[in-house]
Structures are given as structure tokens and as C-alpha cells.
Amino acid sequence: MKRILVAEDDFVISKLYQIHFQRNNLHGSFFTTGAGVIESAKHARPDLVILDFELPDLNGPDVMRALHQIPGCEDLPVIFVTGRATPEVVENLRKEGAREVFGKPFSPLQLIHLIGKLTESPAP
């Protein structure tokens, strides 16, 4: 089973993730802080991380940079879901290593599809 970490401090959006993960047989670990995601990734490498841009302790780009410094997580796929998805922010996040940036509100079905695409194992 794929290991997905989610950092989202909005309770309603976090519940939305949980509902859609459950419906699609995805396992997620949910955190309200960036530090929680970083610590979890240090103990067991995740397959993918979903980050909010603004978290109570760190901002999403700082969390992504910290994740990419963890041995074994240098190429970890990171998806941002943010209310700050202006063209400039999206471009900057992609330059820094984000695989995709969704604006809020977002389509849970598009997100689930992208998670499947980014976590599928390459064919032998």
C-alpha cells in the first residue's frame, strides 16, 4: 500500500481528503503542521506528500525543501493544494520541485487520479 503524507490545517479540507482516500483505498497520514510531515518522512519514506502552502508552523515550500534534504526523499513527489495558486506562485513552486499545484477549491477526483499516476510503479 502506498504511503501518503498530508499536511493540511483546515479541518474540513482534511476530512475531504480522508473521505476520498478511503473511497479510493489510499492510506494517508494526516498532519496539521509541516514539522509532523517532516518527522514522519524521516522515520519511513512516503510515496507522495500533499502540502498546503500555509501551515501554522512552516510554509509549504520550506517543508518541501526539508523533505527533499532527507536521504532517500530527494525525488519525493510533492503536490501543493493552496488558495494561493496564482500563476506566479504555481510557476515558483514547480521550479522548486512541486510536481503539481492545485488551487482551492480543487477537484478531489483530479487529485486522486494524479496520486495514482505519481505513485504507480514503473513497468519492469
Task: Please confirm whether the linkage preceding 105 is cis (ω < 30° from 0).
Answer: yes
37-66 per-position pLDDT tens digit: 999 999 999 999 999 999 999 999 999 999
The structural domains of the chain, ordered by start, are 3-119 (3.40.50.2300)
Strand-pairing partners, residue 46, are: none
12-39 per-position pLDDT tens digit: 999 999 999 999 999 999 999 999 999 9
Residue 95 is placed in which grid cell?
521550479
Distances (CA, A) of 66 to 20, 25, 36, 58, 60: 27, 28, 12, 10, 10
Contact 53, 76 (CB under 8 A): no
- pLDDT the model gives residue 84: 86
- pLDDT the model gives residue 123: 43
